[in-house]
Amino acid sequence: MTQIATRKVVFGDLSVLKQVIGINNEHLKIIGDTLGIQLSQRGNEISLQGEALDVELGVRLLEQLGGLVEKGYPLYPADIDYAIRLLSENHKVSLEEVFLDTVYISGKRKVISPKSIRQKQYIDAIRRNDIVIAIGPAGTGKTYLAMAMAVSALMKHKVERIILARPAVEAGEKLGFLPGDLIEKVNPYLRPLYDALHDMMHFEKAARLVDRGVIEIAPLAFMRGRTLNNAFVILDEAQNTVPEQMKMFLTRLGFGSKAVITGDITQIDLDGGKKSGLVQVQDILKGIPGIAFVYFTEKDVVRHHLVQQIIKAYERMEARRSRQNASARTGSDTP
């Protein structure tokens, strides 16, 4: 039998309450829709009504969100989604330990911080290790957080330059068939790295640093024969490296440098049955001190809240197709 409960959360500071509920109660609407409970605000109180377990989760959520605001964290609708997910997975988690671990404050005054337990583990691994290999699906923040850590290290003068590399195209960087000069050929494949960089600093500043060579964005092939000292090096889309390329990249690392390697081993685009260097490196480097592996899953996807609904909708469609195919096979086998 479903147990219905009613609880209240009282805020001592109305300015904190205002940020918690959001513009036009937007945050309360997200909480109510996600948890399936009713929330209403009156004065300095928020009332919650619904199934007891959901209401208790809502109370913990509101109390912790209030604590974040009191410590200066600016709440956005996306943060509400992330916070609900964190507390749903582990009701003992402290939102402050995750959200207040500021990785970088961009030139646009945007606070970049982890949005999941796995993201928190990821940035801690980057701090503690010279080589970190992050594997998981798109949208989990692998490249974005690595970029934020790199820019932060540069601004704090912990490194002298940032180097961002990607396999320029699938199948071993075969660029000859593309129109234009070399820069025009590779730019479309490096665009996601430029997008992340421009999200963290003003375009003009980023352009100056790129022009001076302080930030270098280049295809992986450009790393051959180099020694990278005092640098923060990121290799993105590493699932599309072959083992020889992965070895080449790893052996570029010089003194005072860090390397972060990211990729999704479910999205390998290499043709001809070539083996992925990212797949192979998991066995080769496992257990070496100073090298850490971090594995993300679909639960760590942190994009617009509608992305989660889109993913679920596609999963439902795939499930329906699987059931229909199974029924068709069963029907055809029936005499």
DSSP string, 126-184: HHH-SEEEEE--TTSSHHHHHHHHHHHHHHTTS-SEEEEEE-SSHHHH--TTSSSSHHH
Q: What percent of the chain has pLDDT over 90?
A: 59
CA 150 vs. chain centroid, Å, equals 15
Rounded CA separation 238/131 (Å): 14
Q: Are 113 and 123 in contact (CB under 8 A)?
A: no
Question: Average pLDDT of 156-171?
Answer: 83
Question: Average pLDDT of 150-171?
Answer: 86
Q: Are 86 and 98 in contact (CB under 8 A)?
A: yes
pLDDT at 305 (0 to 100): 62
Res. 183: pLDDT tops 60: no
Burial of 290 (0-12, 13-18, 19+ CB in 10 A): exposed
Query: How confident is the model over 256-311, as pLDDT tens digits?
Result: 999 999 999 988 888 777 899 999 999 999 999 999 999 998 888 876 667 667 76
Contacts of 91 (CB under 8 A, 6+ apart): 57, 60
Rounded CA separation 7/14 (Å): 19
pLDDT at 171 (0 to 100): 37
CA 17 vs. chain centroid, Å, equals 29
Q: Is 201 helix (H, G, I), strand (E, B) or coil?
A: coil
25: left (phi over 0), alpha (psi -120 to 50) or beta: left
Q: Which residues of 81-103 are buried (b: 16+ CB within 10 A; e: fewer)?
A: bbbbbbbeeeeebebeebbbeeb
Burial of 130 (0-12, 13-18, 19+ CB in 10 A): middle
Res. 174: pLDDT tops 70: no
Average pLDDT, the chain: 87
In single-letter form, the type of residue at position 22 comes to G
Res. 198: pLDDT tops 50: yes
Query: How confident is the model over 201-253, as pLDDT tens digits?
Result: 888 998 899 999 999 988 898 899 999 999 999 999 999 999 999 999 999 99
Report the Cα–Cα distance between both ends of the chain, in Å, rounded: 45
Contacts of 209 (CB under 8 A, 6+ apart): 215
pLDDT at 178 (0 to 100): 47
pLDDT at 170 (0 to 100): 45
Query: How confident is the model over 29-81, as pLDDT tens digits?
Result: 999 999 999 999 999 999 999 999 999 999 999 999 999 999 989 898 889 98
Res. 135: pLDDT tops 90: yes
pLDDT at 3 (0 to 100): 87
- Which pTM value belongs to this model? 0.80
pLDDT at 332 (0 to 100): 53
